[in-house]
Structure 1
Amino acid sequence: MNRIARSLIWTSSALAIFAGIPAHAQDAAAPADDSADIIVTGQRASLEAARNVKRNSDLVVDSIVAEDIGKLPDTSVASALQRIAGVQVQNGFNNEIQNPIIRGIGDILTTLDGREIFTGVGRGFSFQDLPAEAIGGIDVYKSNSANLIEGGVAGVIDMKLQKPFNFSKGFTVAANGRVYRGDISGETSYTGGLLVSNRWDAGDGEMGLLVDVSYGRNNFSRPISSNCDPRSSNHGPAGAANIVLPTCVGGLTDTGHNTRPQVNAAFQWQITPELQFYLDGLYTGYRSTFATNFIFSDLFAGSSITNAVAGNDCFSGLVDSGGFPTTDAENPNNRIENLCIGKSATFNGVDVLTSTQAKKQRTDQYVFGGGLKWDSDTVHLVFDGSYIQSKNANRTIIVDTAKHGASVDIIVNDGGHGTTVMQGDPLGNPDGFVFANSLFQDLSKSNSRQYAFKLDSAFDIESNFLRQFQVGLRYSDRTGTFRAVAGGPNFPGANRATLVSSVGLPSDFMVLSPDSIPYINNGAHWYTPNPDYLLSNTDDLRALYGAPAGDPAWDPTRNYEAAEKTWAAYIQGKYQIDLGGSSLIDGLVGVRLVDTKRTLDGTSRVIGAGPNNTDLFNPISRGTRDFYALPNASIRFRATPNLQFRASYAKTVARPTFGDLNPGLSLAAPGGNPNVRLAGSGGNPDLKAQMSDNFDVTAEYYFGRSSYVSVAGYYRKLKDRVAPSNSVQVINGQTYLITQPRNLGSSKLKGIEVAGQAFFDFLPEGFDGLGVMGTFTLADSEVTTPGDPLEGKELLGVSKYSYTAGALYEKYGITARVVYTWRSGYNESLFGAGTLTSPDYDSQFNKVKSNGRLDFSVGYDVTPNITVTVDGVNVNGGKYYSYFDSPAFPHDIRIDDKFYGASVRVKY
């Protein structure tokens, strides 16, 4: 296969010479194809349009087309993406689906109408920041070609906004509104949108103008209950021996709301039949105000343990003097202990704590673009210029409080989660709290902007083999700045000693938590610092903690500035061989060349090395340059009008984030204990980009008006993945243990995808509106880096199996759908030092159990212009369960909310 790919790459250069066109090219994110912008009404027409995009594409593509103006088939972009074979998602803290990965990999390039889009200084895009109401369709590219923007090892997701020429008639108005309510949050949320579009004659041509606005507010609450790290009770309070119990127990709720304002506008002018001018812009915002309310029992700091009961999961393990797992058998303080995982116990004399993390988040995205299209019988040109700016700010204020001397009953495993009861419910009374720990302020802001210009060209050629020659060029100029600080002053005097009620705070400083956790204190609410006070009176708190007014200064070692300029060029040929009748062979052969220059400015710090033991800060600047050649080749064999096969190869790349490249370094000052190695941490400006060789094969059969079934196989060979690593470095004559991100080697991923949909037109009247759809994915991954702690293990965060199954109905003005989405369990993270649930410390994981979600919607066309819909999300109450490598010792249970809603859509 590699020899074939190399031959096809050579052929692409020959095609450039044959066509007599210079081999200059552009980097374009999936140039918008107007033929794919199909305006449909109804879910069957939507699915049919998506099927046709898949069928006619030169690449392996799966698509989602809005059922109507402003209506994706799901409540969010990420929710809609989870219905595509090979895409897996997670539920976020605010009970919204987010973080899609494609075929087990999260390095995805996101584009909007073919233009790169990102959030903050990151490489990725936060899909929750763009309302689903603004999207007309989504294409998920799983294979690559030279004309796609580089940057996505996993693939490219292109979101498409509506344009005025998408509408066949002149004047169109569409409005939609939805209200929904969560079982846990108990509050009503809403979204609404209005789209107005018109097109009219302008001399020999035509003009069109579209404006779309939307606004939504989402209220959320998500309870989580946790056991902390397993620990040998031989090193804890007296009263239990040879039992593994949690170091602590507790939970939290994320409670609050977010809002999303959005407006986009587009202007199109068809100057002549061949020439079109276009101009468009987008603003979308994300605002969130919420609190993470913690409840916590510091079990191993208690005075005694009673009523301890051991289970039947027993083993012998090496533990250190603190009762945690270790592999250091040479240390005389470590020993092998015969242990059993505990079932239940009572801890006495325990400090119980509450904490409020009051948070405000804000993101503003601006995208502006315009260009020209020339489309004649044989020449197709697109020149596009764009500007994007993404600004992000986060503010978190944290205050901890505690009470002394509680007795806490725990059950380690109560049906897949831990259960906690604090005897007498001490946190249900506002009196007697003391301040604990420091006033912690976690502040950050980022600002990134990018100018990009591209020229795509395609020339149709009359020959028996080469049918089109494509050449393009792209230039982008991106800058990013990041500022952050984390920390704060300790409370004056001893920790956990000063009464909250003794320092003159208002009577409502301690308030009942807005929500409770069913598995802690039988679902009772608890008192915790008031988040509104923390955000609105931060200076008063700083004075209380003995700090001056105002936010602390930015931490120089966390700050950085980055500038990155990229030139990309491609050449690509589209070939076709007619085999007689309807049979043919066609495909693409191309190569993309990418040259990137960047500068990174940060600061290194040596603690206590300046005058009077102050910290010494040293500015540091680095310049780097990367060059990549990214070949691609594909072939499609259309055996009959309904049956086709594909095979493709492409090399893809994903650049490191600016944060990982930050050259800043923080070092501990020399001196102190000579037996302790000095430590430091920072970024790594020498990181290489992650690379992947991608192979895909598919078989696709299309039947009926809207039905199909496809089977795909894929293989990904990745190298230079980025992960944190420790190394010993000598700096200024001193030896340091430095923690930095590094390129750690290779992994491979292979799998099978099956997808299809069918409509039963042959059934009797009334039943002929039925249809089914489904997807299945097998993702078999393995880390192949010699010596890596994950060697031979699956990639983190990847479910081996996942599927979607749905039933559809559309008839007599009724549109109904029910869909179940499921993914198998997966390894979420590796415990580097092991976890005390078995003696195999080298390969123990935080594991997540399989989970599924059931969604439904039922709509009715009251008139041809008005539709009402009711829907439900996660109506089966699917939850996240994780455990410390052994199901006998649960870690987290996260309660995902159920939502029920109703919507109205009007279109004229």
Structure 2
Amino acid sequence: MTKSPETLSSARRLISSTYVSSLVLCAMGVVGMPALAQDDAGETSLEEIVVTGQRASIQSAQNIKRDAEAIVDSIVADDIGKLPDRSVTETLQRVPGVTIERFISIGDPEHFSAEGSGVAVRGMKHVRSELNGRDSFSASGGRSLSFEDVPSELMAGVDVYKNPSADMIEGGLGGTVDLRTRMPFDSDDRLISGSVSVNYGDFIKETDPSGSLLYSDRWDTSAGEFGLLLDVAYSEISTRTDGIFLRPFFARNDVTEDGSTAWIPRGADWRSMDFNRERLGSYAALQWRPDDTQEFFLTVFRSEYDMRWDEDAIFVSNSPWSIQLSDDTVFDENGVFVSGTLSNTAPPSWEPQVPGIPFGADIRVSERESVTTDYAAGWKWVPTDNWEISTEFQYTDSTTDTLDSTVATGINLESLTIDIGSEPPTITTDEEFLADPTNYYWAFAMPHVEDSEANQFAWRGDLEYKFYDSVVKSVKVGLRYTDREADNINTGYHWQGIYQTWMTTDWGGGLNVNELGMPYMADGSQMTLNTFDNFFRGDADLTGVVWAPNADIAAGYPGSYVDLYADAAAYADSLGHPYSATYGDYVLRDPNDEQWANIQEEQTYSAYGLLRFGFDEWAMPLDGNIGVRVVETDSVSSGFLVYPNVAPFGDGSMEPVRAENSYTNVLPSLNLRLSIREDLVARFAVSKAMARPEFSEMQAYQILNADVDADTGGVTLSSGSWNNPYLEPLEADQMDLSLEWYFNDAGGMAHINLFYKDIDGIIRNQTIAEQYPDLNGTLQTYSVTRPINAGTAEIQGYEIGYSQFFDFLPEPFDGLGLQANYTYIDSSTDVPASISADDGSLIAPVDTDGTMIEGTLPYEGLSENAFNLVGMFEKGRISARLAWSWRDEYLMSIGPNGFNGTDGGVGTNQSVAWKLPVWSDATGQLDGSIFYDINDNFTIGLEANNLTNEQTRTIMKQNGAGDHYASYFVNDTRYALTLRASF
């Protein structure tokens, strides 16, 4: 019988769909792999060839990539289960073009994260996160999901889309990461599987449990076919990170005999941090197929994430201009400090007359609890071979509660000896002095509270009509509506001194410099002696112990703060110093106060049209899609405008603000696929993408300041709001050109992908003039610093990938395989420099001597070079991997905490505002795993992270002082012993 072309085409689609679906299932250990074969009559049939483990997962991922209309890279469940990764974030780092952050935040280079955090695609942090093709987010002031919050055990696969099509939801400037969960109909039969693990960190020396359990089944009934899947995963992890810090260098011309310029570091300090987290994920899915034309689904996904880290630190807090140097100080040929002893035995007249180098010794406790729950329901109807109609409803609710609390004692060290000629630097001080609790005084406390809630309702409807025997394959249209509310409370970091050197009697304060020490702390009820055992794994030449506050004081906010300040005031009063009358009690910031609230409402309305086409009869078949997506965004930010309490400019009153913002984006896209040969595919994609500003940047809260000069009577009107409810999205014109070679059916492929992005609307702080009325109704001009869409950037580069199992080798080496990918990215930015109206400091990078930092800075978070190398072995019952991930240095932030300031010059009160760029140094990590199939049902394995105990470093770049390492971190090698079962 002769089959029509459309019948053959339908058959090919059915076989391809079955093949890919089976690959995914076999990667999960559910079924064998199907192969096409011919029976004796010459008819095509399916023959089962059992392929499991890494081979099946790689083949499945490659088939997804090959058959996709857009440019996509995938990892399927078996990869997530067998790569040595304990979260979705760490799994994603294996994907070409994807890098992850090794710090808690890219803007905080002082706190390393042993477990990966932020995800960037092609250097862009504006990554859209999806759950089964639908919105997913964490309520932390942003728009995306914290991937580290998501248990990898709940995932069937992860798809990373590099260039979108019109039917994809907007919002991913760098790309879109779609987390796919399993569905009941993915399995033909009942499936019960589970795992238990024991996780051990060799530095913190703690053991933690983890486990998962999955049940899936399906039933034929008189009402149709039903499927149910239940999945739960729980894990804990503990790590320790030690850090050593070298502080910025300052130009001094008063420390050398000839008066030449010498660059002196402000000092050095050290820290140790313990990190603990718990993660619980649960998932339920119900499918119902009443007949061959309809299917309904209902899913509930919930992720709970609890984290706490405790940091013990001692950090320098001196003035760089009051440092004196020992006679044996060594400088290099450029006058930059190499080694010597820093002291402050004779403070200059413009500094507090307190001998010694002031240090803070703190305990910092940071706790975060995040819960995200996602409900989704949908229906698909295929009434005929031509029509397909689908609709989905989704409701997402997310909460995040954070307490970041720091309480510090203070101590004035006589001297500090530093040698930066060694790595890490050698730091020496008087350990006996540090060990005496009577040398300490209560220094300050600083809480930071966040309480965020967000929810969103979303609906989408899609209609597709398919053509046969036509160049036009289908026409698809759709609508989508979302309604999101976000209420983010953020009190900021509220520093308030307890006893400070500038509170001394020499400066008109209420304290006696000779009575700063507080013997009553020596009983240990409020302080803990940290001896920094095994600091830096013993690889650092460091002497020093620290008396720091008990962690309970930091974690007990707000009650512990009230008690702490009351005790400090009573102690000062007992010495005859009117502390409480001079400085007052600690002023709590009430999180319920409206001024800390950031209330956002946002609705989006989108429509798209997509046309699929294909020239199947060409010698080199060409297919693809072309379409356009139009989306309107309407937002409302509610907050307050606070007037100055200086007549006639204001009376300190607060005026409610309702800031309405609306914008429309037109997002065209084109995706082409050319089948040069059966094994060689070329792709071209061009599109416009957009990414909305973060909610944390859109707060409608602004304080107007009127500063009166006591000498001249002049008034400076300014405002540093640091938020802007009228921000618009970033946009990018982007292009991809790729070539993919599938050179064998056993997972062998290679590809190269060239990409380009032209980005507009980069958000940066700028100073502009704005007018506000005074008490008489007269408009007054204020110099206002706020984020605006001010800059542009260009990003271009290429990705190269290769994967193969070496079946041609003799046994047992035919089980060897290799995966490798390399990404090169070049970028340039054009962001205008600006002067802050708040403190006169430059937003652009400025050295400590006031000169602009030389060179053009790249886009933040973007490494020029990155690669992954994964060695694999799969033979018989053994499956093993060794994975090395490496990325080049990248810019983290300009002027983060510890790398910015306004310091007076020697002998003057002249301010020098400076903001240094801080980079993460090039770094790599080696992870490994080995699993053994005990039988068809049970597998045991060992996984390890950070096998080579890598040292992570950051770099501060200056002009005269040159480049220096700013920090050094070491953390755990983590091990997990796992037992898996599947029935």
Whether 1:507 aligns to 2:525 is: yes
Measured in 2, the distance between the counterparts of 1:831 and 1:256 equals 26
Mapped partners of 1:146, 1:549: distance in 2 = 53
Q: Which amino acid aligns with 2:150?
A: L
Q: Which amino acid aligns with 1:509?
A: M
Secondary structure of 1:67's counterpart equals helix
| Contact 1:299 1:347 (C-alpha < 8 Å) held by counterparts | no
Q: Which amino acid aligns with 1:724?
A: N
For 1:299 and 1:670, locate their aligned partners in 2 and report how far apart those are by CA, in whole Å.
27
| Matching residue's letter, 1:688 | E
Secondary structure of the residue that 1:768 maps to in structure 2? helix
Give the equivalent residue in structure 2 for 1:471: 477
Offset, 1:844: 6.7
**Counterpart position of 1:872:** 944
What does residue range 109-188 of structure 1 map to in structure 2 within 5 Å?
109-120=128-139, 121-169=141-189, 171-188=190-207
**Equivalent of residue 291 in structure 2, options 252, 272, 280:** 272
Give the Cα–Cα distance (whole angstroms) in 2 for the partners of residues 845 and 253 of structure 1: 24
CA contact (8 A) 2:431 2:543 kept: no
Give 1:906 deviation, angstroms. Answer: 0.8
Contact 2:612 2:625 in 1 (8 A): yes
Whether 1:689 aligns to 2:706 is no
Q: Which runs of 5+ in 1 are unaligned?
A: 1-32, 315-338
Distance change in 2, residues 1:707/1:390 (3 Å) = same
Q: How does 1:641-656 map to 2 (within 5 A)?
A: 641-656=678-693
Report matched runs for 1:103-502 at 5 Å: 103-120=122-139, 121-169=141-189, 171-203=190-222, 205-234=224-253, 242-300=261-319, 304-314=324-334, 339-348=335-344, 349-375=356-382, 377-415=385-423, 417-437=424-444, 439-486=445-492, 487=494, 489-491=496-498, 493-494=510-511, 498-502=516-520
Q: Secondary structure at the match of 1:97?
A: coil
The DSSP-based 3-state class of the residue aligned with 2:563 is: helix
Listed as ranges, the gaps of 5+ residues in structure 2 are 1-19, 30-52, 104-111, 345-355, 500-509, 567-584, 774-778, 835-843, 846-854, 903-912
- Alpha-carbon distance in 2 for matches of 1:598, 1:114: 23
2:741 equivalent in structure 1: 701
1:331 aligned residue: none
User: Is residue 593 from structure 1 mapped to residue 630 from structure 2 by the alignment?
Assistant: yes
| Aligned pairs (5 A) from 1:707-856 | 707-732=748-773, 733-785=779-831, 792-830=856-894, 845-856=917-928
Q: CA deviation at 1:196?
A: 1.2
Alpha-carbon contact 1:63-1:140 (below 8 Å) kept: yes
Structure 2 equivalent of residue 21 of structure 1: none
RMSD between superposed Cα atoms in Å: 3.0
Normalising by structure 1, report the TM-score: 0.87
1:574 aligns with 2:612: yes
Q: Percent identity?
A: 25
Shift of 1:476: 0.5
Given that residues 195 and 978 in structure 2 are in contact (C-alpha distance below 8 angstroms), is that contact kept between their aligned partners in structure 1? yes
CA contact (8 A) 1:485 1:555 kept: no
Q: Deviations over 1:600-619 (max 9, x none)?
A: 10112234359999843221
Q: Secondary structure at the match of 1:889?
A: strand
- The amino acid across from 1:660 in the alignment is E
Aligned AA for 1:761? D
Amino acid of the structure 1 residue aligned with 2:477: V
* CA deviation string 1:348-397 (max 9, x = no partner): 52233201122221111111111112245322222110100110111122
Alpha-carbon separation, structure 1, partners of 2:633 and 2:512: 51
Provide the rounded CA distance (Å) in 1 between the counterparts of 2:498 and 2:973.
41
Which residue of the other structure, out of 698, 703, 713, is the alignment partner of 1:666? 703
The answer to whether residue 653 in structure 2 is matched with residue 616 in structure 1 is: yes
Deviates more, 1:485-494 or 1:606-615: 606-615
Which has the higher mean CA deviation after the structures are superposed, 541-550 or 192-201? 541-550
- Aligned counterparts of 1:236 and 1:201: Cα–Cα separation in 2: 87
Cα displacement (A) at 1:550: 7.4
CA change 1:538–1:429 in 2 (3 A) is farther
- Residues of 1 paired with 2:258 and 2:364: CA distance? 35
CA distance in 2, matches of 1:360, 1:515: 24
1:553-572 equivalence runs, <5 A = 553-554=591-592, 556-572=594-610
Change (3 A) 1:343 1:796: farther
**Corresponding residue for 1:533?**
553
Change over 3 Å in CA distance of 1:814–1:610 after alignment to 2: farther
* Corresponding residue for residue 907 of structure 1: 982
Distance 1:456 1:446 in 2: 33
Letter in 1 for 2:669: N
Residues 512, 526 of structure 1: 8 Å contact kept:
yes
Deviation of 1:75 after TM superposition, in Å, equals 2.0
Task: For 1:347, give the aligned amino acid.
Answer: S
Alpha-carbon distance, 1:168 to partner: 1.9
Q: Are the aligned partners of 1:190 and 1:217 in contact in 2 as well (CA < 8 Å)?
A: yes
1:374-433, CA deviations, whole angstroms, 9 ceiling, x for partnerless residues? 245322222110100110111122211112343211123423x43322223533343432
- Greater shift in the superposed pair: 42-51 or 376-385: 376-385
Residue equivalent to 2:65? 54
Sort the Cα spacing of 1:194 and 1:340 in 2 relative to 1 into closer, same or farther, 3 A.
Answer: same
After TM superposition, give the deviation of residue 507 of structure 1 in Å. Answer: 2.3
Query: Deviations 1:216-239 (Å, cap 9, x if unpaired)?
Result: 111122122111221124478999
SS in 2 for 1:49: helix
Aligned residue type for 1:858: I
SS state at 2:706 partner = coil
Compute the TM-score of the two structures, normalised by the length of structure 2.
0.81
SS of corresponding position for 1:799: coil
Residue 955 of structure 2 corresponds to residue 883 of structure 1: yes
Quick one: distance in 2 between partners of 1:364 and 1:196? 23
State the 1:307 CA deviation: 4.0
Q: Deviations over 1:561-581 (max 9, x none)?
A: 111111111000000002356
Q: 2:120 aligns with which of 86, 101, 104?
A: 101
SS in 1 for 2:153: helix
- The 8 Å contact of residues 609 and 616 in structure 1, kept in 2 or not, is answered as no
Query: 2: CA distance between counterparts of 1:538 and 1:35?
Result: 56
Distance in 2 of aligned mates of 1:499 and 1:614: 42
Report the equivalent of 1:325.
Answer: none
* Pair 1:182–1:762, CA change in 2 (3 A): same
Contact preservation (8 Å) 1:177, 1:190: yes
1:357 is aligned with what amino acid? Answer: R
Mark the CA change 1:857 to 1:86 in structure 2 (over 3 Å): closer, same or farther.
same
Task: Report the CA distance shift for 1:73/1:180 in structure 2 as closer, same or farther (over 3 A).
Answer: closer
1:545 and 2:545 are equivalent in the alignment: no
Q: Deviations over 1:155-204 (max 9, x none)?
A: 110001111111121x2111112222223222113321111111111226
How many angstroms does 1:513 deviate by? 6.2
Question: 636-645 vs 736-745, which deviates more?
Answer: 736-745
Query: Does the residue aligned with 2:870 lie in a helix, a strand or coil?
Result: strand
CA drift of 1:78 comes to 1.2
- Corresponding residue of 2:968: 893
The verdict on how the C-alpha distance between 1:393 and 1:882 changes in structure 2, with shifts beyond 3 A counting, is: same
Displacement of 1:625: 1.1
